[in-house]
Each structure stands twice: as C-alpha cells, then as structure tokens.
C-alpha cells in the first residue's frame, strides 16, 4: 500500500485514485453518514451561503483498532467480581490499544494535505484529526457538501453547517468513521420553569428544592462534605452556548449554603466563558454539583469548540482523549433523539464513552425531559429514545418529584423523566436480570410495538428533578425543573463517595453500572409510584412506562439514600 501511495494510487481497482483526484472521483465515493437526518431546528434561520474563502475547522474521526479488546477491559475493570476491578487504564494505555493503524494515519494525512488542509491537530489517542480549510477547499474535499451560515437559539448563536450530505472517496471507507462540523446543530435546553403549586398554609413546608432540602431528603449530615485534602475532583460539561457567573455561584452559596462547608468558586474552567448573561441551565449545573458534592474541587467545561463550524459535544470528547488527568465524575445534560443521528456518529461516540469507562471515569448523563418520547414511523407511533442516555457505557439519571411538592416526603415519578429502550444498542449483560424482571412483572407495559424490548434500557438511577431554586444573573429563580437538575445532584453525591474511597486508598468508582446492577439498587430509595409521559394518541393516551418495585425504565433503581449508598459503595 505504501508503494501505491508513492505512485499516487490506492485500491479499489478500476477507479481513478490519484490522491489529488480522490475527492472528484464521484463514482468512487461513499457516504459515511447516509442515515444522518438533516433538519433545521425550530428557531434557526439560514443567512445564506458561506464565503468560499471563509475558514472552517473540521474534525475527522479516524478508524480505531482493538475495540473488542477495549470492551473486554471495560467489563474487567468495572466488575467487582473481576481480579482487574478498579485497575483502570491510563490515557496512554487506551491510546496504545485504539490508535489507528499506520496505514490509516498515512492515508488520511496524505489526502488532507493534498486538499490543502492546514494547522491539523490530533489528540493523544490519534483517532481524531482537526484541520482548517477554506469553504471552497472543504466543498471540494467533501463531495456534495454546501456550507451555509445559520443563526438561532436563545443566544442567537451563529454556526456554519451543510444542509446537503457529503461523500468521501471509497478508498477512505476503512479509514474514516465520519466528519464532524457539517450537520449537527448545538442542542437546546429542555429545562422548564413550572408554575408554583398552590397549597393552603405554609407551616412546616418548604418553598422549593434547595441544597438543604436535598441534604435532608437524601440523609446527608453537615459532615458529608469533601475533606479538601485529596486530589478528588468533579466536572460538569455545558454545550448550550450558556455560561455561569462566579458571582451567581457566590450568591447561591450565600443564600443556600450556610449549613455545610463548600467551595465558593470553580477550580478550573475549560473553554471560554462568555461575557453575556448567565444561562439558567449553566447556573443550575454548577450550583447543584458544587452543593451536592460540597467542598470538592470542580471543573466546568464551558462550550469547548466555539468556532462556528465546530460541534461542542464532539469537542468535549476530543478533550477527554487529550487529557491524562481528569476529574473522576462528569455530569452532562446533553442529549439528542437517537433517530436524528447517523449510525456512524452514534457508534463512534459510544466508543468514546467506552474509552472513558476504561479509564475509570464516571459519566452521568441526564435521561431527558420528554418521558418516553414519541415519533411517527410510516404512520405508526413509537417511543423515541435519547442518546447518549441510551449508551451502555454511561450512568443515566432520571427524575422524581416529592409526593407532596411542599414537604420532604417520599418521591414519585416526575412525568417528564426520560426513559425507555434503545433502538441502537442491545441490552448489556449487566442489566439482563433487572430488565427481564421488569418486563415480565410490570402490569402497565405499553404495546410492544412502541419500544425495542431487547435494547439497552435506561435510566439507571434518579434524583429530584422538580422545583429547584437557581440563582442566575443575580436573581433567585424558583421552580426550575428537568433531569438537568437531578444529574449534577447524583454526580455530586458520587464524588463524596469517591472522597471516602480515595482516603482509604481505594480507586474511584469508575463506570458504576455493573456494580449498581449486581447490588440490585442497594443504597437507593425505590420509587414505585407514577408513570412518565409519551405519545398523545388513543392507544397509549400520553402514558409511557410506569415505575414499580426494583428497577424500572422511569427512575432506574431509585434515588440516593446517602449513608446506605456510601456503605454499599465504600467496600473494595
């Protein structure tokens, strides 16, 4: 193959394959993402074609190696019954395993250089390559692409995207998984501010969820905070072109953090912090991660990849593949409908999440705020799973409400809590028993045509998601709701458990699911009342799945009882 490259030729036979001709040989091209849905999100408008000389930053996902071996290692380091439990891989170990072949690296680099790509940067694992090209060069390189400017979202964000599919030379089919920066738009927030419930009298009542309410419900004492003596850390990642303000965090802690030790500022911001107004979701993430995981060093990934042609979530994945020392727990409130993403993209992102699991990172993703979801396929309704919530390599967090919204009572399902069954990923072995039990015993299953009963089922756990107080732009805002709230709360509590483990000389928890399912939800409050929302049609009448004893696809195993959860997770 090296000799072929030197001659300017590489298979398949019968095609014109000189490197300079690769990207114009149409009949020798293929589409890496033929199933990628392209729709202009609501609230976005086209501003017309991009200038041919405008600069773009595109990310090329290079084909990895040894993924089966990586999967085996994730299972080994995450399974308490394995002799390798807790013996996580370093970033360098992962790189040695998955690094693309020399042929892939050489072929893709030659192709990009021939097209005029410049300032190309790789990551430690060498499986992503980000390069700068002009619009003219990119449209020649990626046959069929046509770049336009778009504006939309609450912050009137500007992006450059192609509404048309792109094609690559067939000679690259075994070397490139997909190209990032063409189709996918920044996500939008699904947080809701609900009307305040009406109830007579206020004696003995609380007026919304605050850190003290969370600490009371989940049985944390004033001593359940970080020690400040370890290298323990946690992080939240934000992709909404929203920003938190340090002054809001300080005011939040002044109002609500008086009865526990806490840190009043973020230890590290990765990415750029905007100077505009703070976003409610960005404020919520930081304030509740730092009050649940109190007194623990906290990082914020703030919309990494701010260039108009970059995808912030993809850029965050690149950062994970390029940093040796990372926080142990990451909470993320990002999600897309599975069916809106190409198979190539969704499988590759899942591999990136698997790489993180191999390194002992605990990734928590919000389950979404649309219940079971709903979409129509050929005139028939089906539930609509969300990704990365549906990835088998993350711990997915659903949502609950207090049975009485003004009292610290037992929890019930929050009807928005995302959950269901993946249409992409098969059910992982660690949840086989729990899911089979639910499917065989639930008295309220929806019709089988609405969901893929053999798919990865989620969420795995839950926490309160209804009625939070948030400080944003110096204003206390009540009744904010969404699994974007429950996720940092659960993440913060896992950080406290990591603190105990580290002080005992134990490794951090890492990928939690195998242990969580083996222990049958021990240390969690089982949520057994309520159903979430779904399709508004005559057949299901807006009802998705319902909770029940044990695991269920609405609240997972349940919500944290901190002392019991600490006890069950502190053991080696």
CA dist 153 and 148 (Å) reads 16
Q: Measured at the alpha carbon of residue 137, what is the angle toward residues 131 and 139, in degrees to the nearest 5? A: 105
Structure tokens at 510: 């890492």
Catalytic, out of 285, 336, 369, 414: 285
CA dist 135 and 389 (Å) reads 34
Catalytic, out of 484, 486, 534, 547: 484
Q: Are 527 and 412 in contact (CB under 8 A)?
A: yes
Q: Is residue 72 very low, low, confident or very high in pLDDT (cuts 50, 70, 90)?
A: very high
Instruction: Tell me if 550 is assigned to a ligand binding site.
Output: yes
Tokens 């949502």 -> residue:
399
Answer whether 0.85 is exceeded by the pTM: yes
How far is C-alpha 349 from the geometric centre of its chain's CA atoms? 10
- How many helices (H) and strands (E) the chain has is answered by 14, 30
The whole-chain average pLDDT of the chain stands at: 89
253 closest CA partner among 244, 230, 203, 270: 244
Averaged over 226-240, what is the pLDDT?
A: 87
Pairing of strands 157-161, 29-30: unpaired
Which pLDDT belongs to residue 44? 87
CA dist 423 and 454 (Å) reads 9
Instruction: Tell me if 527 is assigned to a ligand binding site.
Output: yes
Instruction: Tell me if 35 is assigned to a ligand binding site.
Output: no
Pairing of strands 233-238, 297-302: parallel
| Domains delineated in the chain | 33-64+99-180 (no CATH), 213-569 (3.40.50.200)
201 has a pLDDT exceeding 50: no
Structure tokens at 49: 């074609």
540 has a pLDDT exceeding 50: yes
Q: Are 487 and 366 in contact (CB under 8 A)?
A: yes
Q: Are 118 and 75 in contact (CB under 8 A)?
A: no
Instruction: Tell me if 482 is assigned to a ligand binding site.
Output: no
Catalytic, out of 127, 177, 248, 281: 281
Q: Are 435 and 551 in contact (CB under 8 A)?
A: yes
Q: Indicate if 285 belongs to the active site.
A: yes
Which pLDDT belongs to residue 306? 57
From residue 37, give the alpha-carbon distance in Å to each of 147, 251, 426: 16, 43, 22
Higher pLDDT, 155 or 234: 234
Phi, psi of 560 (to 5 degrees): -75, 135
CA dist 159 and 157 (Å) reads 7
How far is C-alpha 226 from the geometric centre of its chain's CA atoms? 25
Structure tokens at 215: 């600490």
CA dist 16 and 29 (Å) reads 11
38 burial level (CB within 10 Å; 0-12, 13-18, 19+): middle
Q: Is residue 102 very low, low, confident or very high in pLDDT (cuts 50, 70, 90)?
A: very high
374 closest CA partner among 385, 383, 387, 386: 383
316 closest CA partner among 395, 236, 398: 236
Q: Indicate if 465 belongs to the active site.
A: no
554 has a pLDDT exceeding 90: yes
Backbone angle region of 32, left / alpha / beta, with phi > 0 → left and psi within -120 to 50 → alpha: alpha
Which pLDDT belongs to residue 444? 87
Q: Indicate if 146 belongs to the active site.
A: no
482 closest CA partner among 346, 347, 288, 205: 288
CA dist 180 and 183 (Å) reads 8
Contacts of 335 (CB under 8 A, 6+ apart): 187, 365, 366, 367, 368, 386, 387, 388, 389, 418
pLDDT digits (tens, 9 = 90+) for 333-358: 888 899 989 999 999 999 999 999 99
pLDDT digits (tens, 9 = 90+) for 120-166: 999 999 999 999 999 999 999 999 999 999 988 777 778 899 988 89
Which pLDDT belongs to residue 185? 73
Strand-pairing partners, residue 398, are 462
Averaged over 300-317, what is the pLDDT?
A: 75
Q: Is residue 195 very low, low, confident or very high in pLDDT (cuts 50, 70, 90)?
A: low
Structure tokens at 296: 């623990």
Which pLDDT belongs to residue 5? 31
């Amino acid at each position: 193959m090296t000799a072929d490259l030197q001659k300017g030729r590489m298979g398949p036979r019968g095609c014109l394959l000189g490197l300079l001709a690769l990207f114009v040989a149409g009949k020798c091209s293929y589409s890496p993402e033929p199933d990628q849905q392209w729709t202009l999100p609501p609230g976005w408008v086209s501003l017309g074609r991009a200038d041919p000389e405008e600069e773009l930053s595109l990310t090329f996902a290079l084909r990895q190696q040894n993924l089966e071996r990586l999967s085996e290692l994730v299972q080994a380091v995450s399974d308490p019954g394995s002799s390798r439990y807790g013996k996580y891989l370093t970033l360098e170990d992962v790189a040695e395993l998955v690094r693309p072949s020399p042929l892939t690296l050489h072929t893709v680099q030659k192709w990009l250089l021939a097209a005029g790509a410049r300032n190309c940067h790789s990551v430690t694992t060498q499986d992503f390559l980000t390069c700068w090209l002009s619009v003219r060069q990119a449209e020649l390189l990626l046959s069929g692409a046509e770049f336009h400017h778009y504006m939309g979202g609450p912050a009137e964000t500007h992006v450059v995207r192609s509404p048309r599919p792109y094609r690559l030379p067939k000679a690259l089919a075994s070397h490139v998984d997909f190209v990032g920066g063409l189709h996918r738009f920044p996500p939008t927030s699904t947080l809701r501010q609900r009307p305040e419930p009406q109830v007579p009298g206020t004696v003995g009542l609380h007026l919304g969820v605050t850190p003290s309410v969370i600490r009371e419900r989940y049985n944390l004492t004033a001593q359940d905070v970080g020690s400040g003596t370890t290298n323990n850390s946690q992080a939240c990642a934000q992709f909404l072109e929203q920003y938190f303000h340090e002054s809001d965090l300080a005011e939040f802690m002044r109002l609500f953090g008086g009865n526990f030790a806490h840190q009043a500022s973020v230890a590290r911001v990765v990415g750029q912090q905007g100077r505009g107004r703070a976003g409610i979701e960005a404020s919520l993430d930081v304030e509740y991660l730092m009050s649940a995981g109190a007194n623990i060093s906290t990082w914020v990934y703030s919309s990494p990849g701010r260039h108009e042609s970059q995808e912030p979530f993809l850029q965050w994945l690149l950062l994970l593949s390029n940093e040796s020392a990372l926080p142990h727990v990451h909470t993320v409130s990002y999600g897309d409908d599975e069916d809106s993403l190409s198979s190539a993209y969704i499988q590759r992102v899942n591999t990136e999440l698997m790489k993180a699991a191999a390194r002992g990172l605990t990734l928590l993703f919000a389950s979404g705020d649309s219940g079971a979801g709903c979409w129509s396929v050929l005139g028939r309704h089906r539930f609509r799973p969300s990704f990365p919530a549906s990835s088998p390599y993350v711990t997915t967090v659903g949502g609950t409400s207090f049975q009485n919204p003004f009292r610290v009572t037992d929890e019930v399902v929050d009807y928005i809590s995302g959950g269901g069954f993946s249409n992409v990923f098969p059910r992982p072995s660690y949840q086989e028993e729990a899911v089979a039990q639910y499917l065989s015993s639930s008295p309220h299953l929806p019709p089988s045509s609405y969901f893929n009963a053999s798919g990865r089922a989620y969420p795995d756990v839950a926490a309160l998601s209804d009625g939070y107080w948030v400080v944003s732009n110096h204003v206390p805002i009540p009744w904010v709701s969404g699994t974007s709230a429950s996720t940092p709360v659960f993440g913060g509590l896992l950080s406290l458990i990591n603190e105990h483990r580290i002080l005992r000389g134990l490794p951090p928890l890492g990928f939690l699911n195998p242990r969580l399912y083996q222990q049958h939800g021990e240390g969690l409050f089982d949520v057994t009342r309520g159903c979430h929302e779904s399709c508004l049609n005559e057949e299901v009448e807006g009802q998705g799945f319902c909770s029940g004893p044990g695991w269920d696809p609405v609240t997972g195993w349940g919500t944290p009882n901190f002392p019991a959860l600490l006890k069950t997770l502190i053991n080696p």
